[in-house]
Amino acid sequence: MLARAHLLERLHDLVMMALVWLIDIVVIGVKVLGGRIEVNPVLRFGLWAAAVCVVGAGIALLGALLVLLQHYSENLPG
């Protein structure tokens, strides 16, 4: 039982560290997009294009989930 608790604690630490790294990457990306970090304009344009694509993909996913929810609710008995 002690080994399992230790393993879960280590897994928790690993997940938290991964989240910290992800937040650091997002902060750097926002600084680049906002112009606070000097980078090649091509890189900045590419990051903006990627950000727009991610937003578009999120909207498309939300729309697809809403359509699936509508189909599911139409097939409910009653």
- Minimal CA–CA distance to 29: which of 9, 15, 48, 14? 48
What's the whole-number average pLDDT of the chain? Answer: 94
pTM of the predicted model as reported, rounded to 2 decimal places: 0.70
Sign of CA dihedral 12, 17, 23, 25: negative
What length is written for the chain? 78
pLDDT, position 40: 96
- Residue-wise pLDDT tens digits, 35-47: 999 999 999 999 9
pLDDT, position 18: 97
- Residue-wise pLDDT tens digits, 6-22: 888 999 999 999 999 99
pLDDT, position 68: 97
